[in-house]
Amino acid sequence: MSVRYIAIEPCTLPAGGCTYVFALEITRSAREPIVIRHRYSSFRQAALAVQAQQPLKAATLPPFPQKFPLRRQTPLFLVKRGRALASYLQAVLADESLSAVDHVQQLLRDGTPKADAAANHNPPSPLTQAEAVVREVGTPQSTRSPAVCIFASPPPAATPLPRQLEPVHSPEATNGYAQEGNNGYAPEGANGYAPDGTNGHHPLQQLMRHPLTALAISLFIGLLCGEVLLALGSCILGIVAGGLHTPPRDDPPLHGANGRHHGGVSHVNGHHAHPPPSVEKEPKQAARGGGEEETDDSHRVAVEAAAEALRLLHEAFDQPETRGWKPHSTRDGVQILVHVTPSGATWGMGLGEVCAPVGVVYAVQELDECKRLLDKQFDRSTTLRAIPPHLLSIDGWQTIELSLAQSLYKSPAWPVGPREFCGVRVIARRPSDGAVAVALRSLDVPGCAPPAGHTRTDLTCGGYLAIPTGPESTLMKYVNMLDPKGSIPSSVVKITVPDRAMVVARVRKIAQDRARWSCAPEWAKLS
């Protein structure tokens, strides 16, 4: 069985207007090949359904191409996205349980035999192709570059991209952007930046624009006039003029929430910005066909931080009284403990029983509508980057999810300002008893800065351990080893730290609603 990207084609929306669809050819043994044509949103709905119903298997699939601003969707970007969709769909259809998901079956039901599709398909004119995408993106003035689709149909006339530009199984490639050094805009040199560092200009023009050229000319003029001061002044003016004459780049590097520098390329939100033209660019080598997957430094650092977060989480709950934790109070069936660190920060811990399955205890804390009920200061949270969970291996535990995240919190009371957290988040399950652990730890993510007015916190470890004590009962252990930074009155600390530990009681209250029990994921249910 194979899935092949064919073309990007314009189509008319039911309510009027034009958009474009991705045409994929699906070939299965003993069956006639079919062609499916769907918008990106249809493929994305299928991917979300696969993730929701089969999260463990979904984690092993090639990364699904992420959403991206329409105004930056260039022709090469769209081709990359089409090929990434084909790669993802092929992996889904190769698994019987994944291909049985309703949204996936809906994609296939709309397919037509290849022979019929070829007979009924009339390639539109280039003008129509351009109009289709321009109307989808907006007016031509709102786009940075002409929005014209690249068509590969009919298939025999398709011109394949060079192999080094083909998408690979990594978030940087499958999100629709091209490989390092190309940035998904145009082949090297076509967007004004030639691979030899000349920026696409004639060598003589390049020489005349060089600062040293302007310096030499100004020095010569100064000496010719016989004035030393004039020569020195001309030197300074030559340097300034040379710097001002350096042509600006048409497409400056992008800046995003999780930009990072790696291998001479600035990674922004998983995408690539232009590297310096003089840097030699080589395509990434990615694992194919089950080979060893290559990971970068950011993955390694995040995995190490996640492992340390889980270690500290278990260590805190292992005889906390011997580790500096002192009993504070007991409220609503929740035992509260506090620990004052040598630096003066106060940590909080809450232990209590929840009358609900362990999967429900986990699920209610993941629902957006419940997060503000559990934490009054919670504002919003953003996943900066997903990391393959199989990279983290802990004895006795199965890693379900691993990611870099940023969370914002409102001010608890005047004069305390809002806070921000940036770090790693890991979800793990212990197959032996079905326990679930969620741990977070602060980690510096290059390019991820706190919003204006927010103070970045230092979270040594935060999260909870949910241990099943019965089919419908769970022991929940919560800990928050947080240094909020800044100056916070002791009166505020005395209120907020114990209140955070009472999240156990709030989870219990929300979990009483059995209508929410259906939200528990399959992987968290007891066998």
This prediction's pTM: 0.48
Q: Are 435 and 467 in contact (CB under 8 A)?
A: yes
Looking at the predicted structure, is the pLDDT value of residue 525 above 70? Answer: yes
The single residue listed with the structure tokens 């957006």 is 368
Give the Cα separation of 159 and 154 in Å (integer).
11
Q: What are phi and psi of 382, to 5 degrees?
A: -135, 130
pLDDT digits (tens, 9 = 90+) for 273-321: 333 333 333 333 333 333 334 346 778 899 999 999 999 999 999 989 8
397 belongs to a structural domain: yes
Do both 81 and 157 map to the same domain? yes
Do both 15 and 160 map to the same domain? yes
The predicted structure's pLDDT at residue 282: 35
Looking at the predicted structure, is the pLDDT value of residue 98 above 50? Answer: yes
280 belongs to a structural domain: no
269 belongs to a structural domain: no
Give the Cα separation of 378 and 332 in Å (integer).
22
Domain count of the fold of the chain: 3
What is the band of 249 on the pLDDT scale with cuts at 50, 70, 90? very low
Higher per-residue confidence, 316 vs 210:
316
Looking at the predicted structure, is the pLDDT value of residue 187 above 70? Answer: no
Task: Work out the burial of residue 117: count CB atoms within 10 Å of its CB; fewer than 13 is exposed, 13-18 middle, 19 or more buried.
Answer: buried
Cα end-to-end span (Å), the chain:
33
Higher per-residue confidence, 250 vs 467:
467
Q: What is the mean pLDDT of residues 34-62?
A: 87
Percent over 70 (pLDDT), the chain: 64
Do both 54 and 129 map to the same domain? yes
181 belongs to a structural domain: no
Percent over 90 (pLDDT), the chain: 35
Do both 373 and 483 map to the same domain? yes
Do both 369 and 458 map to the same domain? yes
The predicted structure's pLDDT at residue 265: 32
Q: What are phi and psi of 25, to 5 degrees?
A: -105, 125
Residue 429 pairs with which residues in a beta bridge?
A: 398, 436
287 belongs to a structural domain: no
Q: Of the candidates 184, 219, 249, which is a domain's last residue?
A: 249
CATH number at residue 419: 3.30.530.20
Do both 66 and 145 map to the same domain? yes
185 belongs to a structural domain: no
The predicted structure's pLDDT at residue 305: 95
Handedness of CA 155, 159, 163, 165 (dihedral sign): negative
Do both 154 and 11 map to the same domain? yes
When mean pLDDT is compared over 44-53, 77-86, 165-174, 397-406, the highest value belongs to 397-406
Looking at the predicted structure, is the pLDDT value of residue 445 above 70? Answer: yes
Around Cβ 161, how many Cβ atoms within 10 Å?
18
Question: What's the domain range around 503?
Answer: 297-524
Looking at the predicted structure, is the pLDDT value of residue 444 above 80? Answer: yes
When mean pLDDT is compared over 14-23, 111-120, 358-367, the highest value belongs to 358-367
The predicted structure's pLDDT at residue 17: 62
The predicted structure's pLDDT at residue 294: 39
Q: What are phi and psi of 54, to 5 degrees?
A: -135, 65
Do both 224 and 310 map to the same domain? no
The tokens describing 192, both together, are 């004004």
pLDDT digits (tens, 9 = 90+) for 448-457: 999 999 999 9
Do both 244 and 129 map to the same domain? no
Looking at the predicted structure, is the pLDDT value of residue 238 above 80? Answer: no
Residue 378 pairs with which residues in a beta bridge?
A: 409
Average model confidence (pLDDT) across the chain: 74
What is the band of 111 on the pLDDT scale with cuts at 50, 70, 90? confident
The predicted structure's pLDDT at residue 196: 40
CATH number at residue 120: 3.30.1520.10
The predicted structure's pLDDT at residue 337: 95
Give the Cα separation of 19 and 8 in Å (integer).
10
pLDDT digits (tens, 9 = 90+) for 336-351: 999 999 888 899 999 9
The predicted structure's pLDDT at residue 36: 92
Q: What is the mean pLDDT of residues 225-234?
A: 63
Do both 90 and 224 map to the same domain? no
The predicted structure's pLDDT at residue 289: 34
258 belongs to a structural domain: no
| Secondary structure (DSSP) of 402-417 | EEEEEEEE--SSTTPP
24 belongs to a structural domain: yes
Give the Cα separation of 205 and 186 in Å (integer).
23
The predicted structure's pLDDT at residue 211: 60
Give the Cα separation of 63 and 171 in Å (integer).
6
* 41: amino acid identity, one letter: S
The predicted structure's pLDDT at residue 29: 75
Higher per-residue confidence, 354 vs 224:
354
pLDDT digits (tens, 9 = 90+) for 373-426: 898 889 999 999 999 999 999 999 999 999 999 999 998 777 788 999 999 999
Do both 240 and 170 map to the same domain? no
The predicted structure's pLDDT at residue 210: 63
Do both 121 and 241 map to the same domain? no
Give the Cα separation of 118 and 7 in Å (integer).
12
Q: Of the candidates 126, 158, 174, which is a domain's last residue?
A: 174
What is the band of 78 on the pLDDT scale with cuts at 50, 70, 90? confident
Q: What is the mean pLDDT of residues 178-197?
A: 36
Looking at the predicted structure, is the pLDDT value of residue 153 above 70? Answer: no
Report how far apart, in Å, the C-alpha atoms of 224 and of each of 216, 232, 471 are: 12, 13, 95
The tokens describing 242, both together, are 């040379």
